[in-house]
């Protein structure tokens, strides 16, 4: 995975869009389990792990508590399902999710715990301490995910706005105050003003729901 080249040439993407090269993807935790921010190092490590097998650039991203939005530029567009599948696998393998005293009734409430501590992910065999919803198969991710091929420059701008507006949408937190996204990089390159919060909604994203 190499996003340095993109950040160095970010404005060129705005001026010269290459058709069928970028994908907007949304990945959601099963039953909206809020596990991602508490395991942000594992999220980053899982993307890095995937890059060992598939070439792609991570163009933009926002990690929320229970889902991830990102735009990627795969070396081969046909490989994007493998990239998503490999990310889910890498995260799940390190997380080693399990259930303590599961109850498989109408609510399927169980307690999730992390795997044994090791040098790869630093997790400990302790109860996270919160009740989450999990099915009887203890799936960590929703089977389906949202994937959309960016069709032009306007579509790219719209999805960039959607990604970086997400902390406002879900938590009323300004993009500049949400550290789990690529917003800061875009500000550094002059793509956004630091205080951007989509107040004018130029690209009509407030009512969109790509989740």
pLDDT digits (tens, 9 = 90+) for 117-151: 333 333 333 333 344 444 556 688 998 899 999 98
Phi first, then psi, for residue 33 (nearest 5°) are -65, 125
pLDDT for 187 equals: 95
Q: Is the pLDDT of residue 175 over 60?
A: yes
Q: Is residue 195 part of a domain?
A: no
pLDDT for 10 equals: 52
Q: Is residue 155 part of a domain?
A: yes
Q: Is residue 118 part of a domain?
A: no
Strands laid side by side in the 127-133 sheet? 98-100, 109-113, 127-133
Q: Is residue 121 part of a domain?
A: no
Residue pair 173/167 in contact by the 8 Å Cβ criterion: yes
Using pLDDT thresholds of 50, 70 and 90, give the confidence band for residue 97. Answer: very low
Question: What are 70-79's pLDDT values in tens digits?
Answer: 999 999 888 9
Q: Is the pLDDT of residue 13 over 60?
A: no
Q: Is residue 64 part of a domain?
A: yes
Mean pLDDT of 101-130: 36
Q: Identify the domain containing residue 81 by its residue range.
A: 4-95+140-188
Q: How many domains does the chain have?
A: 1
CATH number of the domain encompassing residue 176: 3.30.70.1290
Q: Is residue 110 part of a domain?
A: no
Residue pair 56/77 in contact by the 8 Å Cβ criterion: no
């Amino acid at each position: 995975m190499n996003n340095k080249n993109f950040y160095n040439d970010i404005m060129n993407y705005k001026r010269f869009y290459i058709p069928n090269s970028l994908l907007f993807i949304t990945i959601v935790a099963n039953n909206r389990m809020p596990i991602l921010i508490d395991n942000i190092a594992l999220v980053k490590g899982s993307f890095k792990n995937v890059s060992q097998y598939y070439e792609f650039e991570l163009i933009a991203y926002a990690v929320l508590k229970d889902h991830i939005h990102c735009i990627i530029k795969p070396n081969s567009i046909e490989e994007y399902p493998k990239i998503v599948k490999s990310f889910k696998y890498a995260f799940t393998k390190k997380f080693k999710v399990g259930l303590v005293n599961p109850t498989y009734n109408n609510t399927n409430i169980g307690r999730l715990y992390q795997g044994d501590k090791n040098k790869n992910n630093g997790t400990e065999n302790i109860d996270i301490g919160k009740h989450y919803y999990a099915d009887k198969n203890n799936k960590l991710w929703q089977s389906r995910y949202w994937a959309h091929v960016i069709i032009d420059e306007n579509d790219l701008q719209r999805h960039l706005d959607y990604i970086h507006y997400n902390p406002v949408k879900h938590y009323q937190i300004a993009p500049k105050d949400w550290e789990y996204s690529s917003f800061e990089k875009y500000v550094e390159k002059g793509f956004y003003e630091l205080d951007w919060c989509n107040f004018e909604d130029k690209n009509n994203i407030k009512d969109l729901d790509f989740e």
